[in-house]
Every structure is written in C-alpha cells, then in structure tokens.
Amino acid sequence: MNTHSGTSAPALLSVKNLRVEIKTRDGVVPVIDDLSFDLPEGGNISFVGESGCGKSMTALALMGLLPQPAGRIAAGNILFDGEDLARATDARLREIRGNDISMIFQEPMTSLNPVYTIGEQIAEVLRRHQGKSRKEAHARAIELLDSVHIPSPQLRVDDYPHQLSGGQRQRVMIAIALACKPRILIADEPTTALDVTVQAQIFDLLTELREVTGTAIILITHDMGAVAQMSERMVVMYAGRKAEEGRVRDVIQQPRHPYTKGLISAVPHLLDTITDDRPELLEIPGIVPPLTEFGRPNCLFASRCDSATEKCQAARPGEIAFDNGHSSACFYADEMQP
C-alpha cells in the first residue's frame, strides 16, 4: 500500500501496486512486484538499482511498451492524470506516447533510425501528435535542435544520425522527446553510454529544460551521483521490488535499507559532499538473483545481506514508513545506523 503520506495535491502520475509479469522459458516471472509511487506535476524522481532490478521494466510499463508478447501488466494501476494507463487501449497509449509521456534511452548511438535525417525524425513526432504540416514541423525541428544546443541547427537538421557524435545524438533524442511538450519525460540511463564530460552536459541540459518546460522527469540510473544532482525523490529497486523510497537527501543521509546503504558506499564522494564522515568503502557481495527467484515470499536481498536473519529468509518484509514519505522494505529499517 502507499505508505507515505503528505502528498496533498493529486499526483500527476500515481502507480499503485503494479505487477508486471514476463513469460520466460522457466515460467512466468514478476519482474515488477507490487510497486507503488507518486509523481507530482513537474516533479523529479529517480529509480536506482543494479542492472536487472526492474528499473527499465518500470519505464517500459509506464509507456505501454512492455516486450510483446512475453510481457504484461498483471495487476495494479498506472494513473496518469486520473486515467488508468494499465487498462488503456493501444490506440490511446499511442496518443499519449511521445505526446504526454516521452522517453529517452540508454543507447543514443542506436536509438535513432540510421536511414532518416534527424530533422525528419523530430518532425515526424510533431506531425503525428500536433497535426503540423511538413513545412511547419521542419521549421519547429530546427527550433528544437537549437533548444538542445546543437550548433547551426539549420544545417544539421538534414544530417543523418551517423554524422553526429553520441552526445549530439542524445541531444536529438531529447529534442524528439520534448517536441510535444510532454508532462513526463522518462530518461532511462540517458548518459551511461556517453563520455564523462558529455554526461555532465546532458544532465545540465535536462535540468535546464526541466526549468523551462516544467516537465516532470523520471530518471532511471545506477549512478548515485546523477540522482543527487537531478532528483528530489528516489526509489531504490531490488529484484523487481521497491527496497526504499524517500527524498534523495534523506535517503542518502540515512539509508533505511542495507541495499541502499551498499549502493551509497560504493560511491564515496557522494557522502563527502553531504557529510563529513566517510564510511568504509564497502562492496555489496554477490549479484542480483536470477529471474527465476523473483517473486519468492522472502527478502530477496537476504542472500547478500550482512545482517540477514532467519526472518528475512522466511517472510517478505512489508514497508516501514518514516518522515517525509521515507519508507523501507526491511524488517530492521528502524535499527539501521546512519
């Protein structure tokens, strides 16, 4: 259940008890298991966790783009402005995608179609959702390229993706995503494939555009530094489940889940900037459990957890709530030392 209180205005996006199942050779696996969170208008939330924790699946589920025919939303609601996207028709989802909710992806090198100009790929979405003519859409595409700081956009608009660098391609992806002024932008590891210096530029650009457009951003990342820079709230995912949620500041200062603690410790400078004391650098031993173990009625992190007890192996922990909508799915959340 939605444990955190204090959100007064109705959320722009409210996900309730979402369960997403994927059919694999070994059976049906809940890749997202009972996930709930809210995103207010213009808000910012990050999803963090290692690869294979269900972050990207969450994004795809919100977009209605789960892999077909293997994936499906088995239970729960995705309320967008009061409308349940989990039950919307394909046609309705197509109207929303790229228009009200957009997404940018991890691999800018391969996310643009190599055989069309970038101008066409931007203009296309304007024609689709805003009914613009070819000429209008082309003109607007140039403006959009300018707004994502592509130099001499009048010339670059006719370039093909292979003529652009990775960072520029991601800027084009952002231009496509923001073309119709969406209310939510989902950024799935938008900088992972890019150089460090370019990463910072892309985050700066996203921050700038958020301030200009008021678009809410859902950032999916495994980079705690990016979370600290970009978001107000964060959700830590582990093996398809929400491990912890709260304000970024609260979570980083006092993680209430051993998994979060491990993630933070893996990035020492993060704490440097916020607190003076610097804990021992500690790695989380082991790996995310295989898909076949998802959905078991115990704490899935227990096998990697130092403080796991028999209770953790026997039952699935519920959420324990703290201040400011901070919550944790750990039996011993209360006892965690900061």
Partner 1 sequence: MEFLRILIRRVGYAAILLLAVIVLNFIMVHLAPGDIADTIAGDMGGATEEVMAEIREDYGLDKPMLVQLGSYVGGVLQGDLGHSYFFNQPVTKLIAERLPATLLLVISAQLLALIIGTLLGVISARKPNGITSHFVSLLALFGYSAPVFWTGIMLLITFSLLIPIFPVAGMVDVTLEGGFWTRFWDIAHHLVLPTITLASIFLALYSRLCRASMMEVLGSDYIRTARAKGLSESQIVLKHALKNSLSPVITLAGLQFSAVVSGAVLVETVFSWPGLGSLALQSILARDTPTILGILFFSALVVIVGNLLTDLALRLIDPRIRNQS
Partner 2 sequence: MNESVPVNTSDNIRARHPMAEAFEMFMGNYAAVAALIVLILIILAAIFGPMLYPTDPFEMVWAPFSPPGAEGFLLGTDYLGRDMLAGLLTGARVSLAIGLAAAFMSVFIGITIGALAGFYRGWIEEILMRITEFFQVLPTLLFSMVIVALFGASLPIITFAIGIVSWTAVARITRSEFMRIRELEYVTASRSTGASNAKLIFSVILPNALPPIIVQAALMVGSAILFEAGLSFLGLSDPNVVSWGQIIGSNRQYILDASFTVTIPGVAIFVTVLAISLVGDGLNDALNPRLRRR
User: Total number of residues binding partner 2 (CB under 8 A)?
Assistant: 3
Residue 187 or 308 with smaller CB distance to partner 2: 308
Question: What, of partner 2, partner 1, none, does residue 115 touch, CB below 5 to 8 Å by kind?
Answer: partner 1
Near partner 1 by CB under 8 A: residue from 12, 15, 79, 173:
173
Identified binder of partner 1 from the candidate list 42, 139, 160, 291, rule CB under 8 A: 160
Residue 128 interacting partner from partner 1, partner 2, none (CB closer than 5 to 8 Å by kind):
partner 1
At position 151, the amino acid (one-letter code) is P
Whole-angstrom Cα Rg for the chain: 20
Q: Would you count residue 165 as binding partner 1 (CB under 8 A)?
A: no
Answer yes or no whether residue 292 interacts with partner 2 by CB under 8 A.
Answer: yes
List the single partner that 124 binds among partner 1, partner 2, none, CB under 5 to 8 Å by kind: partner 1
Q: Is 239 in the site for partner 1 (CB under 8 A)?
A: no
| Pair type for strands 44-48 and 216-221 | parallel
Q: Give the residue among 193, 188, 186 at the shortest CA–CA distance from 167.
A: 193
Q: Is 83 in the site for partner 1 (CB under 8 A)?
A: no
Residue 284 in the binding site for partner 1 (CB under 8 A): no
Options 22, 48, 118, 176; binder of partner 1; rule CB under 8 A: 176
Question: What CA–CA distance (Å, rounded) separates 249 from 337?
Answer: 16
What strands lie across the sheet with 101-104, from one edge to the other? Answer: 101-104, 184-188, 216-221, 44-48, 233-238, 241-247, 327-328, 320-321
Residue from 15, 18, 29, 96 touching partner 1 (CB under 8 A): that is: 96
Which residues, in sequence order, are bridge partners of residue 238? 241
Kindly state the smallest distance separating residue 229's Cβ from partner 2, in Å: 38
Element (H, E) at 18: strand 13-24
- Least distance in angstroms from the C-beta of 241 to partner 2: 21
Q: Which two tokens stand for residue 188?
A: 């799935």
Distance (Å, whole) CA 303 – CA 298: 10
Q: Rounded CA gap, 264 and 288, in Å?
A: 17
- Binding residues for partner 1, how many (CB under 8 A)? 30
Figure out which of the listed residues 290, 306, 314, 323 binds partner 2, where binding follows CB under 8 A.
290
Q: How far is the CB of 206 from partner 1 (least distance, A)?
A: 17
Residue 292, binding choice from partner 2, partner 1, none, Cβ under 5 to 8 Å by partner class = partner 2
For the bound state, the minimum distance from the C-beta of residue 303 to partner 2, rounded and expressed in Å, comes to: 11
Report the SS3 class of residue 115: coil
**Which entry of partner 1, partner 2, none binds 95, CB below 5 to 8 A by partner kind?**
partner 1
Total residues found in the chain within this entry: 338
The residue assigned the tokens 């008021």 is 214
Helix, strand, coil fractions of the chain, as percent rounded to 5: 40, 20, 40
CB-based contact 145:154 (threshold 8 Å)? no
Render the burial of 254-270: b for 16+ CB within 10 Å, e for the rest: ebbbbbbbbbbbebeeb
Token pair in block for residue 165: 């660098």
CB closer to partner 2 out of 207 and 303: 303
> Which residues would be at the binding site for partner 1 (CB under 8 A)?
63, 65, 93-99, 102-103, 105, 107, 110-116, 124-125, 128-129, 160, 162-163, 173, 176-177
